[in-house]
């Protein structure tokens, strides 16, 4: 069997909140919430893909912090890996693939309608959640 395509999802944590992104496309996923990220390209590590995707999609510089243990099947042939990440520069904006962003406290995590296939990954993120210092805080 061929290797699954790895999709990296970023659990961006800032000031004790998790960044959720609402997909704007394709139609079957639009309106549902996910972890920003995307497919790892040939020659890239997942961490490099995460940095690239967050720059493209959100316009920020981010840094992967730690892999969240686990892997989650998406559509056939695709698997989701997740890293916690922190913002290094910039303010996230829904530039590409998303039409809304929301910062969620640990208590608010289930306030948004995550993609079905993301729910288990978000549970793992919540379990691994270590509040990171606020971006720019002294």
Ligand X SMILES: Nc1nc2c([nH]c(=O)n2[C@H]2C[C@H](O)[C@@H](COP(=O)(O)OP(=O)(O)OP(=O)(O)O)O2)c(=O)[nH]1
Return the biggest CA–CA distance within the chain: 50
For residue 32, give the nearest of 89, 97, 96, 120 by alpha carbon: 97
Told to check if 78 binds ligand X by CB under 6 A, we report yes
Told to check if 12 binds ligand X by CB under 6 A, we report no
Told to check if 38 binds ligand X by CB under 6 A, we report yes
CA separation for the pair 36, 57 (Å, rounded) = 8
Told to check if 80 binds ligand X by CB under 6 A, we report yes
Minimal CB distance residue for ligand X: 38
Tokens representing 41 are 């390209």
Shorter beta-carbon distance to ligand X: residue 14 or 34: 34
8-state DSSP, 134: P
CA separation for the pair 91, 24 (Å, rounded) = 19
Told to check if 117 binds ligand X by CB under 6 A, we report yes
* Residues in touch with ligand X (CB under 6 A): 7, 9, 29, 34-35, 37-39, 53, 74, 78, 80, 97, 115, 117-118
């Amino acid at each position: 069997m061929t290797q699954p395509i790895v999709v990296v999802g970023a659990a961006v944590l800032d000031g004790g909140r998790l960044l959720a992104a609402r997909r704007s496309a394709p139609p079957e996923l639009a309106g549902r919430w996910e972890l920003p990220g995307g497919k790892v390209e040939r020659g890239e590590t997942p961490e490099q893909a995460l940095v690239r995707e967050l720059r493209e999609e959100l316009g920020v510089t981010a840094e992967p912090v730690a892999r969240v243990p686990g892997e989650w099947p998406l559509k056939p042939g695709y698997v989701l890996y997740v890293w916690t990440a922190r913002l290094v520069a910039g303010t996230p904006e829904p530039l590409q693939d998303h039409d809304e962003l929301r910062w969620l406290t640990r208590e608010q995590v289930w306030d948004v309608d995550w993609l079905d296939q993301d729910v288990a990954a978000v549970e793992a993120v919540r379990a691994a959640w270590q509040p990171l210092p606020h971006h720019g805080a002294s």
